[in-house]
Chain A
Amino acid sequence: MNVAHKHVHRAPLHAAEGTAAIAVCNLTVAYNRHPAVHHLTGEFREGSLTALCGPNGGGKSSLLKAIVGLAPVVSGHVDIAGDRKRAIAYLPQVVEVDRGFPLKVLDVADLGHWRRSGAFGRLGAAHRQQSLAALAAVGLQGLELRPIEALSVGQFQRLLFARLIVEDAPIILLDEPFNAIDQRTTEDLLRLIVGWSREGRTVVAAIHDLDMARRAFPETLLIAREPIAWGATREVLSDAPLARARSLAEGWLENAPVCEVPA
């Protein structure tokens, strides 16, 4: 049965007002021909704060990866406002980073300067001050010279947030920032995210906690390989779209037929 095919959206789910920071146009991301994100069209408005919700395997990470250029885009495209190399700061899932690597906490925060320093540039006193201030802002002051392998998961996530602060990018994409993080750290990091949004940055965070999305994120994109709904969080996270996401997640098949929507 062709569950996936029936529900394909070609028209944009979401036509927001204001300029687009990220414009996604008919985007399909696929691994071994199986789509992880299927024909998604829409815009992340400049300065918007969006929760990216959906079941496991629903394409949240793949969408973020496609935006930053880490995932295979099969068709469609993503347009970024401004210089792609400088515009986006990206938080990978913790498992994608080698937490046992012999680096110091301060080294990782300094990494946020990469786009300005490059492979050879020197880090001056001003850069160092920014790194120290970022570490203080995430509550890691006093741990600057610790090896990162000595940090807990929560402390390590705080450290990656400090790197995001140092990167100082207008668009910030977060891939499951609250996985395996305790309540207090979650609240601290959420405050940072809301603060970034107030500063006018565009923030997209893939999260599982729907209550948190309702509480802190004005907009939500619900995705279960197929885009389900995109817009004001209250409407997107209502019963009908959520039920549809669940039913789609149950219908994922190994032997799906070829999708016939023209690219």
Chain B
Amino acid sequence: MLHDLLIAPFAEFAFMRRALIACMAISLSAGPIGSFLVLRRMSLMGDAMSHAVLPGVALGFMLFGLELWPMALGGLCASLLVALLAGVISRTTPLKEDASLAGFYLISIASGVLIISLHGSNVDLLHILFGSLLGVDDKSLLLIAGAATLTLLAFAVIYRPLVVECFDPGFLRVAAGGRAAGPGAVAHLVFLVLVVVNLVAGMQALGTLMSVGLLLLPAAAARLWAGSVGGLMLTTSGMAMAASLLGLILSYHLNTPSGPAIVLVAGLFYLASLALGRRGGLIRRYLPRPHLAH
């Protein structure tokens, strides 16, 4: 019975195994990427960058059809360009970074949808926007696993400067003799590139609109449980993996699309953490434990 429920779908179908492995790899990246998006208060920035992928993907699609590499490269370039432009504009005009990002991602998504609709069918559009997790092939599995490997290795290098940059951004610049391009700025830039790489890699599995969900929702939930940066990253990865497994199994038995199912399960984790979380969950606010003597 339990075997039928939990194991059989993966034992019987290769596409379920592929989907599971793809999600596990994305979950590994989600630990560091999601955690630092939340810690740096860049959650919305991650969302905006995932939308900004679209016009690049659309251009790749227009020129080469539904091919992985042109679409991935196009997405990478478009998203990095938008992140760069938003940074430049927030420094040179009175608009804050969030406003300029919102402006760019609305333009991106509108132009992306327009290009795809002109050159493809609604099925193509749905595929690009929401992915097709059960149709993950070897090439995209390699891309996803490669992105996860790159992320974990790169984080081993930039971890310490990135933590300091979040906590006290001036400190590293002073220690570097006041240069603007100190190790903190470099770590931040590498981090932005990694975010985009993971968004693009997750696109095939979860689509441009949903790939940010598996990166961000578990991290937001984990922030309500974990008290250290390391704990936060581990909890995030763990929650992302659990959401992937549960979502896949649910979508199999209930016969629903798998990407949205996974993101919804992650969303449920988030809501449950909001209510029950050890650090600042609502239960602590409305059912406070008695105060201590000192």
List chain A positions with a Cβ less than 8 A from chain B. 68-70, 84-85, 88, 90, 92, 96-98, 101-104, 108, 111, 114-115, 119-120, 147
In Å, the complex CA distance between A111 and B167 comes to 11
Judge if B177 is at the interface, Cβ distance under 8 Å.
yes
**A96 partner residues in chain B, CB cutoff 8 A:** 168-170
**A97 partner residues in chain B, CB cutoff 8 A:** 167-168
In Å, the complex CA distance between A98 and B178 comes to 20
**Residue pair B176, A92 in contact (C-beta under 8 Å):** no
**Residue pair A85, B167 in contact (C-beta under 8 Å):** no
**Residue pair B173, A69 in contact (C-beta under 8 Å):** yes
**Residue pair B167, A70 in contact (C-beta under 8 Å):** no
**A98 partner residues in chain B, CB cutoff 8 A:** 166-168
A-B residue pairs, 3 tightest by C-beta = A69-B178, A85-B177, A84-B177
In Å, the complex CA distance between A231 and B284 comes to 55
**A92 partner residues in chain B, CB cutoff 8 A:** 168, 170-171
Instruction: Of the listed stretches B19-27, B121-129, B223-231, name the one at the interface; the rest are far from the partner chain.
Output: B223-231
In Å, the complex CA distance between A90 and B177 comes to 11
| Dominant SS among interface residues on chain A | mixed
**Residue pair B163, A103 in contact (C-beta under 8 Å):** yes
**B177 partner residues in chain A, CB cutoff 8 A:** 69, 84-85
**A103 partner residues in chain B, CB cutoff 8 A:** 163, 167, 228-229
**Residue pair A114, B175 in contact (C-beta under 8 Å):** yes
Judge if B268 is at the interface, Cβ distance under 8 Å.
no
In Å, the complex CA distance between A200 and B174 comes to 22
CB distance from A124 to the nearest CB of B (A): 16
Decide: A120 near B226, CB < 8 A? Known: A70-B174, A96-B168, A98-B166. no
| A-B contact list, 25 entries, CB within 8 Å | A68-B173, A68-B174, A69-B179, A70-B170, A70-B174, A84-B177, A84-B178, A85-B176, A90-B174, A92-B170, A98-B166, A98-B167, A101-B167, A102-B227, A102-B229, A102-B232, A103-B228, A103-B229, A111-B164, A111-B171, A114-B171, A119-B158, A119-B160, A119-B161, A120-B160
**Residue pair A70, B173 in contact (C-beta under 8 Å):** yes
In Å, the complex CA distance between A85 and B174 comes to 7
In Å, the complex CA distance between A68 and B229 comes to 29
Residue of B nearest to A167 (CB): B175
**B170 partner residues in chain A, CB cutoff 8 A:** 68, 70, 90, 92, 96
Residue of B nearest to A175 (CB): B170
In Å, the complex CA distance between A120 and B179 comes to 20
**Residue pair B164, A114 in contact (C-beta under 8 Å):** yes
In Å, the complex CA distance between A233 and B163 comes to 41
CB distance from B43 to the nearest CB of A (A): 15
Contact bitstring B163-201, A, C-beta under 8 A = 1, else 0: 110111111111111110001000000000000000000
In Å, the complex CA distance between A147 and B172 comes to 21
In Å, the complex CA distance between A86 and B118 comes to 59
In Å, the complex CA distance between A96 and B173 comes to 13
Q: Which of B205-243 contact A (CB under 8 A)?
A: 226-229, 231-232
* Residue picked from B39, B171, B174, most chain A C-beta under 10 Å: B174
Decide: A101 near B174, CB < 8 A? Known: A119-B161, A119-B183, A120-B160. no
In Å, the complex CA distance between A115 and B176 comes to 8
**Residue pair A101, B160 in contact (C-beta under 8 Å):** no
Residue of A nearest to B156 (CB): A120
**A102 partner residues in chain B, CB cutoff 8 A:** 39, 226-229, 231-232
CB distance from B189 to the nearest CB of A (A): 14
**Residue pair A85, B175 in contact (C-beta under 8 Å):** yes
In Å, the complex CA distance between A84 and B169 comes to 18
> 13 extra interchain contacts, Cβ-Cβ under 8 A, other than A90-B174, A103-B229?
A68-B170, A84-B177, A85-B176, A92-B168, A101-B39, A101-B167, A102-B228, A103-B167, A103-B228, A108-B167, A114-B172, A119-B183, A147-B228
In Å, the complex CA distance between A147 and B176 comes to 27
In Å, the complex CA distance between A104 and B166 comes to 14
CB distance from B16 to the nearest CB of A (A): 36
**Residue pair A115, B173 in contact (C-beta under 8 Å):** no
In Å, the complex CA distance between A102 and B158 comes to 17
**A120 partner residues in chain B, CB cutoff 8 A:** 160
**B179 partner residues in chain A, CB cutoff 8 A:** 69
**Residue pair A115, B183 in contact (C-beta under 8 Å):** no
**A69 partner residues in chain B, CB cutoff 8 A:** 173-174, 177-179
CB distance from A113 to the nearest CB of B (A): 11
Residue of A nearest to B168 (CB): A97
In Å, the complex CA distance between A98 and B169 comes to 9
**A114 partner residues in chain B, CB cutoff 8 A:** 164, 171-172, 175
